[in-house]
Structure 1
Amino acid sequence: MPVPVGGYSQGPSCFDRIKTGFMIGFCVGMASGAIFGGFGALRYGMRGRELVNNVGKSMVQGGGTFGTFMAIGTGIRC
């Protein structure tokens, strides 16, 4: 059986996988933070700047939390 020509390319490093896992988790957390934070803020009757600040804060918190857990889970799999 002939040997294929060319070398095998290495995949992404473990650190690159952890970064990717964090970014995917951050995006998912931001989306869920926008949905749940937006509905919660509207339910409390927030409008204008107060609404934007509250939704933004919940988006960053949700993204950071979910991104951290996704990065940890990806790191365990490396």
Structure 2
Amino acid sequence: MPVPVGPGGYNQGPRCFDKMKMGFMLGFCVGMASGAMFGGFSALRYGMRGRELLSNVGKVMLQGGGTFGTFMAIGTGIRC
């Protein structure tokens, strides 16, 4: 079965940089979710409430998302 050809005359898939961006986005979302769970549980354990709780959980979510997203982007870049 022949491979479908794109409008430019050749089949062009996503570039490596596009894959790395997608890996970062996926890792960022997973890191944000895990940061919300772990940051929320630890902040509640320390007795934080209200604005202090939200700022602490938000900070942990951004740190977890950035860290995991960076590692996912690096891993995706290695696979390209």
TM-score, normalisation: structure 2: 0.89
- 2:70, 2:35 → 1: CA distance? 15
Tell me how large the CA RMSD over aligned residues is: 1.5
State, as a whole percentage, how many aligned pairs show the same letter. 80
Q: Does 1:30 align with 2:32?
A: yes
Which residue of structure 1 lines up, in the alignment, with residue 21 of structure 2? 19
Give 1:11 deviation, angstroms. Answer: 0.9
2:43 aligned residue (31, 36, 41)? 41
**AA of the residue aligned to 1:28:** V
TM-aligned CA distance change 1:6 to 1:40, over 3 Å: closer
What are structure 1's unaligned runs of at least 5 residues?
Answer: none
**AA of the residue aligned to 2:40:** G
- 1:5, 1:72 → 2: CA distance? 30
Which runs of structure 2 are paired with 1:1-78 in the superposition (5 Å)?
Answer: 4=2, 7=5, 8-78=10-80
TM-score, normalisation: structure 1: 0.91
Give 1:5 deviation, angstroms. Answer: 8.0
Give 1:10 deviation, angstroms. Answer: 1.3
Give 1:34 deviation, angstroms. Answer: 0.1
